[in-house]
């Protein structure tokens, strides 16, 4: 099984489409800034909304996918 790639710190991310829809509904379709993994909680991170600046966390790092340049411009 391939290991999940943790997004780079301060990169733009969004919730992976592979995550069940009933979970993380408030974060779906939002562009977020990946603030980084929480040092005391390996595998968990904090993110911030790009438009609102609101900070969300802790969330599992595996649910986030780093945006490509093409997706970020949309």
pLDDT value, residue 28: 84
- For the chain, give every domain's residue range: 12-72
Element (H, E) at 69: helix 69-72
> 1: pLDDT confidence band, cut at 50, 70 and 90?
very low
- The pLDDT tens digits for 8-48 are 999 999 998 888 888 787 888 889 999 999 999 999 999 99
What is the C-alpha separation between 73 and 14, in angstroms, rounded?
13
pLDDT value, residue 12: 94
CA proximity to 49, closest of 36, 66, 32, 25 = 32
């Amino acid at each position: 099984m391939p290991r999940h790639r943790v997004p780079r710190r301060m990169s733009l991310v969004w919730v992976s489409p592979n995550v069940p829809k009933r979970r993380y509904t408030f974060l779906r379709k939002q562009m977020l800034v990946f603030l980084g993994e929480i040092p005391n909680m390996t595998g968990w991170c904090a993110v911030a909304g790009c438009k609102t600046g609101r900070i969300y966390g802790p969330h599992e790092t595996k649910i986030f996918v780093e945006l490509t340049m093409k997706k970020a411009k949309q």
